[in-house]
Structure 1
Amino acid sequence: MRTLTWLWRAVLFLILFAFALKNQHAVEVKGFFGYSWQAPMVFVILGVFGVGCAVGVVAMVPSWWRHRRDARKRLHLMADATANQARQQAQAERDNPTTLPSQLPAPPDVAAPRKPAR
């Protein structure tokens, strides 16, 4: 699988490299107020691609921040709930030290037990 991945990367690089070699002629980018700029087409395309990536990342930042804030809030709520559950369980054990819970919780890395078939 790794070989196929590297082969795909090499093919993609060669295609893009051939595209760059075929488009070395100069183009003129005209802006506002008579401003113009001449550069090889490959650099213009690369610049536009880079600007597009930067705009996309900047546009996603508020959403990333919102998701991180929500995840942090959920983590704190889960920690509080776990602490409350542990406190209640400890209180129950102090009140009835001879009894065991009806069902012990499964460890997090083990699948929950299934109900027995009838």
Structure 2
Amino acid sequence: MKYLLWLLKAAIFFTLFAFALNNQQTATVHFFFGTQWQAPLVLVVLAAFVGGLVAGVLVMVPRWWKQRS
């Protein structure tokens, strides 16, 4: 079972690594007031994922505090 879990982790890692290698084109993200950000597509996707993760945690913090007390 331990080896199967390591194999699954390795498969996920190599899939994400291949995704990153295949998405190295520059993407432009346009913000308000003419501001723009140019970065590789994989960084744009990663930034969106991290932003969503942070937003989700911030929304859950009051509920966690309420449950602790």
TM-score (norm 2): 0.96
Number of residue pairs the alignment of both structures matches:
69
Structure 2 residue runs of 5 or longer lacking an equivalent are none
Aligned to 1:8: 8
User: Tell me, what secondary structure is at the counterpart of 2:28?
Assistant: strand
Aligned to 2:43: 43
Q: Which runs of 4+ in 1 moved over 4 A?
A: none
User: Tell me, what secondary structure is at the counterpart of 1:24?
Assistant: coil
Superposition pairs of residues 1-118 of structure 1, within 5 angstroms: 1-69=1-69
- Identical residues among aligned pairs (%): 51
How far apart are residue 37 of structure 1 and its match?
1.1
Q: Which has the higher strand share?
A: 2
CA–CA separation in structure 2 for the residues paired with 1:63 and 1:5:
33
CA RMSD of superposed structures (Å): 0.6
Q: Which has the higher helix share?
A: 2
Structure 1 residue runs of 5 or longer lacking an equivalent are 70-118
The structure, 1 or 2, with the larger RCO (C-alpha pairs under 8 Å, 6+ apart) is 2
CA–CA separation in structure 2 for the residues paired with 1:31 and 1:65:
34
- What CA deviation, in whole Å up to 9, does each residue of 1:2-61 have, x standing for no partner? 111111000000000000000000000011111111100011111111111111111110
